[in-house]
Amino acid sequence: MSAFTQYFTGVFRSLLNLWRGLMVTGKYFIGPKYIVTQQYPENRATLKMAERFKGEVIMVHDENNFHRCNACGICEINCPNGTIEIISDKIMNEEGKQERIIDKHIYHLSMCTFCGLCVKNCPSNALAFSQEFEHAVFDRRKLTKILNRPGSRIKREPRVPKEKTGDPVISPPAK
Amino acid sequence: MALNLYDFSYTTLAIDQFLNEKLSPTGAVMTELVIIGILFLALYALLGLALIYLERKVCAIMQNRIGPNRVGKWGIIQTIADMIKLLMKELIPIRRADKFLFNLAPYIVIIGSIMAMAALPFAKGLHALDFNIGIFYVMAVSSIGVIGILLAGWSSNSKYSLIGAMRSGAQVVSYELSVGLALLSVVIFSGSMQFSEIVMSQANGWWIFKGHLPALVSFIIFVVASTAEINRGPFDLAEAESELTAGFHTEYSGIRFAFFFLAEFMNMFIVSGIAATVFLGGWMPFHIGNLAGFNRIMDYIPPIVWFFGKTFFVVYLIMWLKWTFPRLRIDQILTLEWKYLVPFNLVNTILIAFIVLMGWYFK
């Protein structure tokens, strides 16, 4: 292709591309249905957060007030900020063996960065994220929460292997 | 063709006669100057606020947002609230800046754009200046603004400001050529540089329709080149936020910053007004040849509405360009001008001269 034709095909091709770009914004300008803005305080009643939104860490309780936490402390070890404190207790179960149960699962929301390491690493799937995001309070002591509800007990069930989440497995460095 | 449109020159003449009866000739001229000055300043401020609101809304809708909607109905008082905030801000003195030039620069920018605005014909007989070299005058005074930008950048004693001003200088000086050549095409068509004559020559159809493809090409070139000349996106590298914080007006605050901001928006209005006047018939209603009935219906819409409608249409085109395309680099901008716009423009001008010579356009 000679330089002459190259020049003109370049001009027309770029004009075509520019027109294509203009059409995209033009389409958005004409159609108000493309607006994605959520008008927050007004739409509070109908607001639906995304499934994977990390609002705050909660402990999952079922309808009979059972949770699955066995106070192993892995979440506490994994937390980079010291957000979680586990206070465990020891009781005697019906078989006569000593057993460790959770007394208080303390969660400092004010220190949490929502990295999700506690939820990801919980071996018994006891923790989860809720979609609650209105965390503003007038007293910061209210940001320290106890996640296990009063009177809740651990639900005994066969341990389910955790689903593979597709994260890359980091192999230990070769010697 | 008889035009049954209201001529504002009767009104202005009546005011002139009234003032001359009451006052001495010098006093009458002084009063008229003051009245015109106040009118233009008020128009300047109000249009600036309206344009800023419009820009925010258009930009928001193009980015799938809503835009200002909290202050007043649909957020229409938002820009007024912003203006009050800006007026109350502190004027920060810059250490080791060139004080005199630093304070002078915003006024030069704003004077340039007010002087250019004086030449716009808003309706029949409603213009401050009607030179026989109107287009030449507008080209000349619109170049004053770049002096203000360069002074602002140089006197701020800041790297960002200086780089922004230098870019702006290179850009404005080269794009003025394209603007001038694009306007020249209509000067060839209408055979006059006077704005009122150019508008009257479009009584039987606007130049963009009468002039076939070449007029359309020069309209597009004019819109692109004048977008670059007023330092608006995608050619806004004089104030490229991501690279130079705010370019030449980085160090300005409060009312001086507001002057630069207002001048930028009003320059957009002025180039749109010129584009509307020269290519889209200005205040002239939409006429098709000698269809008397159709033309009569169009005449019922007042010329001021026609002028502002067309101008805001071109304003919308410029905003559309800004919010669609990413910013060009300085080398890309100069390539676009010298490698594409100027050759196309020159060929286009010769083509138009040939068309006019052969009389091939609609008369």
CATH number for position A98: 3.30.70.3270
Residue A168 covered by a domain? no
Q: Are residues B114 and B223 in the same domain?
A: yes
CB contact under 8 A, B61 and A29: yes
pLDDT (mean) for B150-168: 85
Does the residue A124 lie in any domain?
yes
Residue A125 lies in a domain: yes
Task: Report the C-alpha dihedral over residues B182, B196, B281, B50, rounded to 10 degrees.
Answer: 90
The CB density around residue B23, as the number of other CB atoms within 10 Å, is 14
How many distinct structural domains can be found in chain B?
3
Within 8 A of B64 by CB-CB distance, chain A residues are: 28, 34-37
CB-nearest partner of B320 from A26, A35, A37:
A26
User: Residue B260's pLDDT band (boundaries 50, 70, 90)?
Assistant: confident
Contact B61 A39 (CB under 8 A): no
Let me know if residue B275 belongs to a domain.
yes
- B99 pLDDT higher than 60: yes
pLDDT tens, residue by residue, A86-142: 888 888 877 778 888 888 889 998 888 989 898 888 888 888 888 888 888 999 888
Q: Say whether both A62 and A125 belong to one domain.
A: yes
With contact defined as beta carbons under 8 Å apart, do B232 and B80 qualify?
no
pLDDT of residue A157: 65
Q: Using CA atoms, how far apart are residues A98 and B47, in angstroms rounded to an integer?
A: 80
Measured between beta carbons, the chain B residues lying within 8 angstroms of A22 are 320-321, 324
Interface probe, candidates A25, A40, A42, A43, chain B, greatest B C-beta count within 10 A? A25
Distance of CA B166 to the CA centre of its chain: 22
B258 close to B86: Cβ distance less than 8 angstroms: yes
Domain count, chain A: 2
The secondary element (H helix, E strand) that includes residue A129 is strand A127-130
Show residues of chain B in contact with A39, CB under 8 Å: 66, 69
Chain B contact set for A24 (CB, 8 A): 324
Give the mean pLDDT of B32-59: 87
Contact A76, A84 (CB under 8 A): yes
Average pLDDT of every residue of chain B: 83
Distance CA A116, CA A33 (A): 34
Over 50: is that where the pLDDT of B8 sits? yes
Q: Which domain holds residue B59?
A: 53-88
Q: Does B216 lie in the same domain as B123?
A: yes
pLDDT band at A159 (very low <50, low <70, confident <90, very high): low
Structural domain for A69, as ranges: 56-154
pLDDT tier for residue A40 given thresholds of 50, 70 and 90: confident
The answer to whether the CB of B290 falls within 8 A of the CB of B195 is no
* Inter-residue contact B61 to B67 (CB < 8 Å): yes
Specify if A45 maps to a domain.
Answer: no
Residues in Cβ contact with B143 at an 8 Å cutoff, skipping those fewer than 6 apart: B112, B172, B176
CB A72 within 8 A of CB A123: yes
pLDDT tens for each residue of B181-204: 888 888 888 888 888 888 888 777
Q: Which two tokens stand for residue B3?
A: 């035009």
**For residue A75, is it within any domain?**
yes
Mutate to test the interface with A, among B55, B56, B66 (most CBs of A within 10 A): B66
| Residue A162 in domain | no
- Give the Å distances, CA to CA, from A52 to A93, A116, B256: 37, 11, 47
On the question of pLDDT at A166 being above 80, the answer is no
Q: Is residue B47 part of a domain?
A: no
List pLDDT tens digits, range B203-253: 777 777 777 788 888 888 899 888 888 888 788 877 767 777 777 778 888
- Which comes out higher in pLDDT, residue B336 or B292? B336
